[in-house]
Structure 1
Amino acid sequence: MGFLWSLLWAALLINQAVGEYGMAHFSELGKSKGKDYCIFFNSKWAHLPQDLNKASRLQTYDLTASVLCSASDVPKGGFPNRIAMVLRGNCTFYEKVRLAQINGAKGLLIVSKERLIPPFGNKTQYEEIDIPVALLSYSDLLDITKSFGEKRQVAMYAPSEPVVDYNMVIIFLMAVGTVAVGGYWAGSRDIKKRYMKHKRDDGVEKQDEETVDVTPIMIAVFVVMCCSMLVLLYLFYDHLVYMIIVIFCLASSVGLYSCLWPFVRRVPFGKCRIPENNLPYCHKRPQVRMLLLSALCVAVSITWGVFRNEDQWAWVLQDALGIAFCIYMLKTIRLPTFKACTLLLVVLFIYDVFFVFITPYFTKSGESIMVEVAAGPSGSSTHEKLPMVLKVPRLNFSPLSLCDRPFSLLGFGDILVPGLLVAYCHRFDILMQSSRIYFLACTVGYGVGLLITFVALALMEMGQPALLYLVPCTLLTSLTVALWRRELPLFWTGSGFVPPPIVMAPINCTQTPGPPTAETIVNPEPQISDTSSQCEEPAQSAPENVPHLAEDAACKSD
């Protein structure tokens, strides 16, 4: 139980974030033709022009032998009307840029041997500085020195990217597809378990994971956990980020196994069970194909964990593992009533809005806690990113393609929270025989809410709390369908899942039971409950190891 909740709160910590990449165009002094290099800047120090032709071309002052942390590092005469280039380290970004500005510099390029991060400060420092400051990689500095020598000039600019990128289509299809498949599978699986409740089954079906019914108390505890963990990550990011990465590896491997097992189970190979042993998790003699599938899932998860920072291809593995994780959670966590759905979605709606839009008024940097944690704090020494997101690199052609590939992100929480409502709608559809109208309407509402999120992202050019748009679209759509069908009382309380008992006629034990009727589908339990007193005592059940012995015999005969 606790493991499931830890997975879910980890998924809800993420929202979208946008980095600030720019270009530094170097050329020989007095010439316009040159070469672009990637820089990472913070527009709160000073904005960069979007067009290279509007950027000032200034001569550089190479002080990369120094870190520019004290007045003694400033050369005689300062940096009059030049762009200073210094090494990163030993002091804050503010101390460097302040020394550069008061000594006449028109900009500052900080050369970093580590991964590029936006140069950060606080609100007061941002107001004091009016020259641009950016980070340049050390490998690019070596190429610049080789290509242009000592007398060179630079123009810094930040080309705008298209508002809409094709990767949004990919994220939309992945998110809506995950919600639809997970909600449909969760609803169908829940109904199947109800049908099989009184049937003895020693096969592999009994090995499926159990569902967890969410209660109001669990929702309250869960939200407190989310808030506490988000604040702790904001304060101790470098210490806790690896814990989240480990949780994701474990959770995604379990989710991948859960999604692939129904297909592997249909493969007519590997049914043999391992010999009797006392090994943990193996004393029940699992099938060979189960162990092979487990090994494959763990291997995929470990591969991602080792190569998680390979931007060229690791995002594909992360998205595949993330989708499997979300489907697994949708199958496992169950909201029993629309009342519980509304409570969970509204509380998390408030949580999302608060940590994106309200927390900037309480932080020293003026950044929201949600965006800081999602993007990775600027002062982080690990430069690790939280993995609980779907991520797709930008697909449009841009000069910024020289930089680390910028990604569009969608947090798992923006899939899981509405997805739990979609799963509830599907279960209600099946039990009320309503032709899946609730399921389809809620899924369409989710898609519309996601489109609105993308539009808001494009218009505001900042990370958006997706639940701000997804929660109203899904809740109001489901509520409208319930009102239109005049089923709101049943839909709100989940009464459709527990109809009044049905009076049954005496059963003739010699007759073969016919196919289930509509009444037995709604409430299958009374069909079975009172027959034991009218029928003969059933024969003694076979020992539990008989199926295993039969499988072993079949394996030997092969």
Structure 2
Amino acid sequence: MVHVLSEKGSSKGKDYCILFNSQWAHLPHDLGKASLLQLQDQTASVLCSPSDVPDGGFNNQIPMVMRGNCTFYEKVRLAQINGARGLLIVSRERLVPPGGNRSQYEEIDIPVALLSYTDMLDIGKSFGSSVKGAMYAPNEPVLDYNMVIIFVMAVGTVAIGGYWAGSRDVKKRYMKHKRDDGAEKHDDETVDVTPIMICVFVVMCCSMLVLLYFFYDHLVYVIIGIFCLAASIGLYSCLSPFVRRFPLGKCRIPDNNLPYFHKRPQVRMLVLAVFCISVSVVWGIFRNEDQWAWVLQDALGIAFCLYMLKTIRLPTFKGCTLLLLVLFVYDVFFVFITPFLTKTGESIMVEVAAGPSDSATHEKLPMVLKVPRLNSSPLALCDRPFSLLGFGDILVPGLLVAYCHRFDIQVQSSRVYFVACTIAYGIGLLVTFVALALMQMGQPALLYLVPCTLLTSFAVALWRKELGMFWTGSGFAKDLPQPPLVIAPVSCPELPKDSGSVPDPPPDTEQVTNPTLHVEEPHGSTTATEEPTDTNANTDQSEIPIAPSEEPAGQDKDDAENKCLNAEQNQPE
């Protein structure tokens, strides 16, 4: 940092970001220990030859010169010979730490750093020509408090999204016979992910990431537009269950032939749609207002993640494992491997997520949760004022959490899978933050989240001896026996399969029928069970209701047969 203030002392000082190399000379960590020296504006020259040195030299001053035409060593050597106590090289390009070799480092005793051209203009505008500056290197805090906010938002989104997705999916399975209106049917639509879809999705992710790396300034606006549309749909989906509880606005619009409106939606749902679109538009217009636009972006991002968790469904643990492992490799490759493949040595994932520093638009991708740094940090001034967590680090493990919750409800396991997987996600996120603090570089969160969630889910299934069902998803409602239904006694004759004649009436007993158990009753049995019954056993007539024993004749007989057939056909599947 360089702390700048006016020589007249009439204005408050201001910090600016500089990049320096500690091998040239060390800077104090405390501003109080830094030397406050006069900044001399020499940006009209590049300080590559003695002719660029002003008359009288740089006596105990810190000159500011332009970058270019010669090496950093040549500039700082000239400055040191002519009495400078430091050197600021103003750069119109991307800031990099000034380099050199070991022999050059040993010759130089003054610090040298790079200052951006825009900051140099701001110094002149804010403080005039007579300014003083102090160069220092404050320690970066290990962890910022904003990590707590990101942790709560991420874990809360995964827990709520997984719980909501599982509950709605199970409800839909058990209530297939219930007739809902068109709007509710639309809300219940889900997409089952297949292995082919996973492969196509990963290829699309890789292609889009590479295209963004090379054509960031053009494609960033496409991503912003997609986010606005998807976020408004997600916000509508999250708020619609609450709006439907309001007693007002239930009336529908008049008949018309307009698209979508011909379904005559309720007035309150139209108001909600307008509200959601307005929120997205407001964020799109003021997205670069760092003081408050991040709140809207996080709210829209959470709504988008909840909508995706509710809509996308992984039907088996096998599918969950395939998706998480493939994206695990994808995340690690683009964070740790791509620095060896790029010219600048930068990670493609980190570069795209944070926005390239040489971007002409200075736009940032919105597909992240972002929270401003709460500590006084140099990174807050050095073009990284926010901590970021990508939506993929929420959605990918969240799909596994949703699967665990659905499986919990189906096998009635008291949500042990859901709770264990959610806790594992929180632990994985904490490990990610620790790795971020230790390595001081962007981390692929899936590197820690995928093992934590997958291994925990696998261990719980193995411990409960349900790994087979959990792996294939065979514990769902379509494969589980339904609870037995008690059918009221009906006296109707049983038609033989190979005869059209009417058999003798069944015994006067009440039948308990299990729709999932298809066992043909022997004539005269009292219940449908898997064990053979004794047809000669006496029945306690005091405990079993007596059905009429008269055999229907004529039309009455036909009516009784029809009632029996209808009763059998109307039994639930």
Would the TM-score normalized by the shorter structure come out above 0.5? yes
Q: Please give the per-residue CA displacement for 1:135-181, whole angstroms capped at 9, x wherever unaligned.
A: 22533322221xxx53x442222322432322211111111110000
Q: Please give the per-residue CA displacement for 1:215-269, whole angstroms capped at 9, x wherever unaligned.
A: 1111111111111111111101100111111111111110000000000001011
Q: d(CA) in 2 for partners of 1:73 and 1:229?
A: 51
Q: What letter matches 1:144 in structure 2?
A: F
Correspondence list, 1:113-512, <5 A = 119-120=95-96, 131-135=112-116, 136=119, 138-145=121-128, 149-150=129-130, 152-202=131-181, 204-397=183-376, 406-497=385-476, 498-499=478-479
| Structure 1 position 520, deviation (Å) | 8.6
| Structure 1 position 104, deviation (Å) | 2.8
Q: What letter matches 1:493 in structure 2?
A: T
Three-state SS of the structure 1 residue aligned to 2:475 is helix
Q: d(CA) in 2 for partners of 1:490 and 1:35?
A: 68
2:50–2:78 CA contact under 8 A, matched in 1: no
Three-state SS of the structure 2 residue aligned to 1:132 is strand
Is the radius of gyration larger for structure 1 or structure 2? 2
Q: What letter matches 2:88 in structure 1?
A: L
Q: Please give the per-residue CA displacement for 1:104-150, whole angstroms capped at 9, x wherever unaligned.
A: 374225388xxxx95148999999998311222533322221xxx53
Three-state SS of the structure 1 residue aligned to 2:371 is strand
Three-state SS of the structure 2 residue aligned to 1:231 is helix
1:69–1:96 CA contact under 8 A, matched in 2: no
Q: d(CA) in 2 for partners of 1:172 and 1:431?
A: 30
Q: d(CA) in 1 for partners of 2:316 and 2:104?
A: 55
User: TM-score, normalised to structure 1's length?
Assistant: 0.77
User: TM-score, normalised to structure 2's length?
Assistant: 0.76
Three-state SS of the structure 2 residue aligned to 1:277 is coil
Q: d(CA) in 2 for partners of 1:228 and 1:469?
A: 24
Q: d(CA) in 2 for partners of 1:35 and 1:111?
A: 25
Matched residue, 1:552: none
Q: What letter matches 2:95 in structure 1?
A: P
Three-state SS of the structure 2 residue aligned to 1:455 is helix
1:37 matched to 2:17? The reply is: no
Q: What letter matches 1:133 in structure 2?
A: L
Q: Please give the per-residue CA displacement for 1:417-459, whole angstroms capped at 9, x wherever unaligned.
A: 1000000000000000100000000000001111111111112
Q: d(CA) in 2 for partners of 1:290 and 1:41?
A: 52
1:48–1:132 CA contact under 8 A, matched in 2: no
Q: d(CA) in 2 for partners of 1:321 and 1:362?
A: 35
Residues 502 and 447 of structure 1: is their aligned pair in 2 closer, same or farther, counting only changes over 3 Å? Answer: closer
Q: Please give the per-residue CA displacement for 1:342-367, whole angstroms capped at 9, x wherever unaligned.
A: 11111111111111111111111111
2:166–2:403 CA contact under 8 A, matched in 1: yes
Q: d(CA) in 2 for partners of 1:264 and 1:534?
A: 41
| Structure 1 position 379, deviation (Å) | 1.0
- Point out where structure 1 has 5 or more consecutive residues left out of the alignment: 1-21, 512-516, 522-530, 539-558
Q: d(CA) in 2 for partners of 1:50 and 1:118?
A: 24
| Structure 1 position 502, deviation (Å) | 7.0
Is 284-293 or 495-504 further displaced after alignment?
A: 495-504
Q: d(CA) in 1 for partners of 2:127 and 2:75?
A: 21
Matched residue, 2:90: 110
Q: d(CA) in 1 for partners of 2:358 and 2:381?
A: 24
| Structure 1 position 50, deviation (Å) | 2.6
Q: Please give the per-residue CA displacement for 1:246-297, whole angstroms capped at 9, x wherever unaligned.
A: 1111111100000000000010111111112222221211111111000000
Three-state SS of the structure 2 residue aligned to 1:496 is coil
Q: d(CA) in 1 for partners of 2:342 and 2:100?
A: 13
Q: How many residues align?
A: 487
Q: Percent identity?
A: 65
1:179–1:422 CA contact under 8 A, matched in 2: yes
2:98–2:113 CA contact under 8 A, matched in 1: no
Q: Which of 1 and 2 has higher RCO (CA within 8 Å, sep 6+)?
A: 1
Residues 221 and 158 of structure 1: is their aligned pair in 2 closer, same or farther, counting only changes over 3 Å? Answer: same
Matched residue, 2:498: none
| Structure 1 position 315, deviation (Å) | 0.9
Is 78-87 or 171-180 further displaced after alignment?
A: 78-87
- Point out where structure 2 has 5 or more consecutive residues left out of the alignment: 81-85, 106-110, 492-511, 517-562
Three-state SS of the structure 1 residue aligned to 2:262 is coil
Q: What letter matches 1:383 in structure 2?
A: H
Q: d(CA) in 2 for partners of 1:95 and 1:281?
A: 66
Residues 419 and 242 of structure 1: is their aligned pair in 2 closer, same or farther, counting only changes over 3 Å? Answer: same
2:147–2:387 CA contact under 8 A, matched in 1: yes
Residues 139 and 104 of structure 1: is their aligned pair in 2 closer, same or farther, counting only changes over 3 Å? Answer: closer
Q: d(CA) in 1 for partners of 2:209 and 2:360?
A: 18
Matched residue, 1:19: none
Q: How large is the RMSD of aligned CA atoms in angstroms?
A: 3.8
